[in-house]
Amino acid sequence: MVYSIKTWSLIFEAIKELFYEIDDIDIEEDPTRNMYFLSMKVYRKKLMQKDISNGMLKTIYYIVELFTMSDDSLVLIDEFENGLGVNCIDILCELMLSERNDLQLIITSHHPKIINAIDAKRPCNGSKEELEKIYDDCIKDGERVSTLINYTITAEE
């Protein structure tokens, strides 16, 4: 799928907001492997995707998905905070809640910053029965996944 210059500009802006040390971001082709990779300049030094930390890549992945996801998508993320740096959590949560109001987010987390950030901004409007069904349907290795992001959900009856 091809995205507009405007979409890529929004993505790169969001990434630079989180990682102020990034001077430039680009996508480069590796013709020998018929693949594209992320590259960036950090403090005027070029880094290829293999040189970028997993936490930074995961954050960039979330941002790209956020801006390129189909309208009205359902987004399920288990243990959202795993692999993210603490410096990213606040801004990434705010970005996810402010950029795409059409998305339905179901996120699990144990991290208080995430629970508090999302709790107040986007309450769940499902009935108690709907929420319990969603929770029960989220099975991982025969056991329930982590507590839903808003484990104190006040559902409309």
- 46-78 confidence digits (pLDDT tens): 999 889 888 889 999 899 999 988 888 888 888
More confident residue, 38 or 121: 38
Are the C-beta atoms of 108 and 77 separated by less than 8 Å?
Answer: yes
**Residue 89 to residue 101: CA distance in whole angstroms:** 19
Token code pair at residue 108: 């699990």
| Rounded Cα distance, 146 and 40, in Å | 34
Q: How many CB atoms are closer than 10 A to CB 36? A: 11
Structure tokens that stand for 86 in this block: 């603490």
Q: What is the pLDDT of residues 93-152, one digit of tens each?
A: 888 878 888 888 777 887 777 777 665 545 555 555 666 666 666 544 444 443 343 333
**pLDDT for res 45:** 94
Contact 7, 68 (CB under 8 A): yes
What's the one-letter identity of residue 84? Answer: L
Q: State the average pLDDT over residues 31-51.
A: 90
* Residue-wise burial string across 90-116, b where 16 or more C-beta atoms lie within 10 A, e elsewhere: eebbebbbeebeebebbbbbebeebbe
Identify the residue with better confidence: 13 or 152. 13
- Angle value at C-alpha 80, between 50 and 43, nearest 5 degrees: 35
Confidence check: pLDDT of 1 > 80: no
The larger pLDDT score, comparing residue 90 to residue 60, is at: 60
